[in-house]
Amino acid sequence: MLFNSIEFLIFFPVVTLLYYLLPHKFRWFHLLAASCFFYMFFVPVYILILFFTIIIDYYAGIWIENSEGAVRKRYLMASIIANIGILCVFKYYNFFLDNMVFLFQSLNIPIASEHIPYLSILLPIGLSFHTFQAMSYTIEVYRGNQKAERHFGIYALYVMFYPQLVAGPIERPQNVLHQFHEEHTFKSSNLLAGLRLMLWGFFKKLVIADRIAVYVDAIYDHPDQFGWHNILLAIILFAVQIYCDFSGYSDIALGSAKTMGFDLMKNFDRPFISTNISDFWRRWHISLSSWFNDYLHTPICIAWRDYGQYAIIFGLLVTFFISGLWHGAAWTFIGYGVVHGVALTFEVLTKKTRKKVIKKFNKALYDRLSMLLTFTFLCLSWVIFRADSMSDIGTIYHQLFSFNTTAFQSLVMNSNMVEFGATSFAIAAVMILFMWVVESKVSYSLYELNDRPVADIILSSALLICILSLGVFNHNSFIYFQF
């Protein structure tokens, strides 16, 4: 089930209401059943994959805790291999085959394409998210930071809790497991805070991201047919789109959990004010970047710490290569990760020099320029992320930097359509400005309640009105149309 579907509009109030009506001892079961229902809206049988990993990790956790020395590590390894194995089969198997075929063809080794055992399956939704959350559990038990969970239902709920099941935030057991044991009495403050955060998320998703997507998709579908100014606009708008889409989704997740008294971790923290790429990864998809930092990068650095900076750089490149692959089974995603890994390497190597330069500069000016440079880098790196193929990446950069307008394709077919596009852009621009003001200038945090009811009512009503009157609910909105 998607958050922006009519089904969720019924699912959410029913689940929240039942949660409070039921006595505490039945609530875990209610949430687990609701989460299964939520998940099974996509492809029902895939729930078996979830059950499989849940059973393995549940027992792995207990066995790790009960053993000593090398055996502990063996149980941890078994659990990690099982989790990554499932990820590889369902997400990376076909990609691996594609690359093998390409390799064989490049070496002129003939292969019959009909004999290649491709898996014809859809990618199970949220697989990368809940697999990582499950791995976080066994690793933390291994490290002694978390006691193994004995209640099977509650462990299953830790993996399957519907708000964060399909798109995060990727939680840590220390943060959420104890919350499932605690009894949450109904607090109207939680309901208000949660609903408000959901409104904010829906606003970003439906009013901004889905509106911009129409334009961005049109350009990225045919990058060779547009001039550099159209492409430049699409590249900048995609940065806004991906932020509004993903942070909006996270806010809805945090908000719907909050209505039932659960606190999930914050996943985004105004990423576009980042002054460098390391800063960016502390503000963007925080639950994923901290996962990679805690469980991959830091262990690599610790293990090879005698090599000093080389260990850090090696760790960064490995981590971001894998982080790119995590986003999707395609070379474009790997390219996106590697570009960021290289940028971070550059930042590590120039850290001391930059510190000296800052001292000679006007601090405010330096920060502004850094933000601009960082944003430019991000936009250019998201081209690699968004493009449909490696060759499209080349086309887009080529069109952009050749300042070529001759390939200009009219997006709009007649004067009627020109006005319609202009209205769409005008709404998007005003709403982006509104979001920017709220996120950077409003004196209180959207994540906490406050004692300014009037300001709060005005903001919340404005959001709800904008969602209902300007939200993009249908996907018919074509900026240009065929005859």
Partner 1 sequence: MEKNEVLALVNEVFIDALDNEDIKLTEATTANDVEEWDSLSHIQLIVAVEKKFKIRFTSGEIHGFKNVGDMCDAIIAKLG
Partner 2 sequence: MNYLARILVVLFVSGISCQGIFWLLDSHLQQYNVHKKERLDEIILGHSSFDILLLGSSKTHTGINPYYIDSITGHSSYNLGIEGGRVNEFKIIWDVYLQHHPKPKMLVLSANLFELDLRRGFFNHTQYFPYLENSIISQGLDAYGHRTDVYKTLPFLRMSDYDDYTRNNALKGMMHQTEIQAGDFQYKGFLSNGENTIREPLALPPKEDARISVGSVDLLKGIIERCQKDSIQVILVYLPEYDHRLQNNTPNAAEVLAVLKEVSDKYKIKFFRHDQLELCKRPDLFANAGHLNREGSVVYSKYLATVIKSELSK
Residues noted as catalytic: 327
Does position 275 interact with partner 1 (CB under 8 A)? The reply is: no
* Residue 154 contacts residue 27 (beta carbons within 8 Å): no
According to CB under 8 A, which residues from 376 to 435 bind partner 2? Answer: 409-410, 413-414, 419-420, 422-424, 427
For 346-376, letters b (16+ CB in 10 Å) and e give: eeeeeeeeeeeeeeeeeeeebeeebbeebbe
Establish if 195 lies at the interface with partner 2 (CB under 8 A).
Answer: yes
Asked whether position 225 contacts partner 1 by CB under 8 A, the answer is: no
Which single residue is written with the structure tokens 């006595």? 23
**Pseudo-torsion of CA 349, 354, 356, 360, nearest 10°?**
160
Spatial CA neighbour of 35 closest among 199, 197, 257: 257
The one-character DSSP state at 222 is: S
Q: Which does 349 bind (CB under 5 to 8 A by kind): partner 1, partner 2, none?
A: none
Provide the b/e sequence for 271-287 (b: ≥16 CB within 10 Å).
Answer: bbebbbbebbbebbbbb
- Does position 352 interact with partner 2 (CB under 8 A)? The reply is no
- The reply on whether position 469 binds partner 2 by CB under 8 A is yes
Binding partner of 80, given partner 1, partner 2, none, CB within 5-8 angstroms per partner class = none
349 near partner 1, judged by CB under 8 A = no
For residue 188, state whether it binds partner 2 (rule: CB under 8 A).
yes
Please select the residue that binds partner 1; options are 44, 85, 153, 299, rule is CB under 8 A: 299
Q: What is each CA distance from 34 to 199, 264, 311, 350, in whole angstroms?
A: 22, 18, 45, 50
Count of residues interacting with partner 2 (CB under 8 A): 43
Selected from 13, 44, 153, 308, the binder of partner 1 by CB under 8 A is: 308
- Binding of partner 1 at residue 293 (CB under 8 A)? yes
Taking CB within 5 to 8 Å according to partner kind, which of partner 1, partner 2, none is near residue 470? partner 2
- Mention every residue, 6+ apart, whose C-beta is less than 8 A from residue 240: 208, 209, 212, 432
Out of 24, 74, 143, 178, the residue judged to bind partner 1 by CB under 8 A: 143
What amino acid is encoded at 226 in this protein? F
In the three-class reduction of DSSP (H, G, I as helix; E, B as strand; rest coil), residue 144 is classed as: coil
Residue 273: name its binding partner from partner 2, partner 1, none (Cβ under 5 to 8 Å by kind).
none
Residues 6+ positions from 365 with CB-CB distance below 8 Å: none
Q: Which of 40, 77, 84, 302 binds partner 1 (CB under 8 A)?
A: 302
Binding interface with partner 1 (CB under 8 A):
143-145, 278, 282, 293, 297-299, 301-303, 305-306, 308, 311-312, 348, 352, 355
Binding interface with partner 2 (CB under 8 A):
6, 188-189, 191-192, 195, 211, 221-222, 225, 409-410, 413-414, 419-420, 422-424, 427, 449, 453, 456-457, 460-461, 464-465, 468-478, 480-483
